[in-house]
Structures are given as C-alpha cells and as structure tokens.
Amino acid sequence: MKNLVVTEEIWKEGNMYTAYCPELDVVSCGTDIEDARKNLLEVIEIHLEEAAKLGTLRAFLENAGYDLTTSQPTLQLDKQVVAFNQRTVPLGDL
C-alpha cells in the first residue's frame, strides 16, 4: 500500500472553516479547524475510492502530478509549500 502526501489549506470564512487540497482540487468545510480537516480527509478518501472504482485513479493521480512509477512507499509532488502570506496589491482607480 502506498501513501499520498497532500497539502491542506484552511480558510476562515465567516463562522465556518474551509479546507482545500490543491493537489487534488477537493474542498470541504467545518465548524472549526479540526472539523474542516477531518471532513477534508473524508472527502479525499471518498474521491480516491470512487476514482479507483471507476478505474480512473491512476490517471487522476498522474494528472495531479504524482509519479506512480516510483518504488517509494509515499507519493509526493516535487514541489512543497514554503510560504503562505497575505499581501496587499494596489488596484488603482476602480
């Protein structure tokens, strides 16, 4: 069995938290950070299970950028998040 390394982005929107996995382009939400993380993991697992049932898991993972030919037990992308910042950018006159 292989493992998959993914990124979790957690956003606060109003009184809810949104959890996003950019590698797989899946999203979920929750009433707090841990709930959002738990729900995202569930969505990822369901998405991978359904892709496997449909016979599209290999193509899905390859399209996401994962190298399935590796003998490593853990699949991860060559890129890693090294910074995540908010920045103000001038818009000019609207």
Angle between helix 57-64 and 33-54 (nearest 10):
130
Asked if residue 3 has pLDDT above 90, the reply is yes
pLDDT of residue 52: 95
What are the sequence ranges of the domains in the chain? 3-75
| pTM of the model as a whole | 0.84
pLDDT of residue 84: 83
* Residue 8 pLDDT class (50, 70, 90 cuts): very high
Sign of the dihedral through C-alpha 6, 77, 69, 74: negative
Give me the CATH code for the 3-75 domain, please: 3.30.160
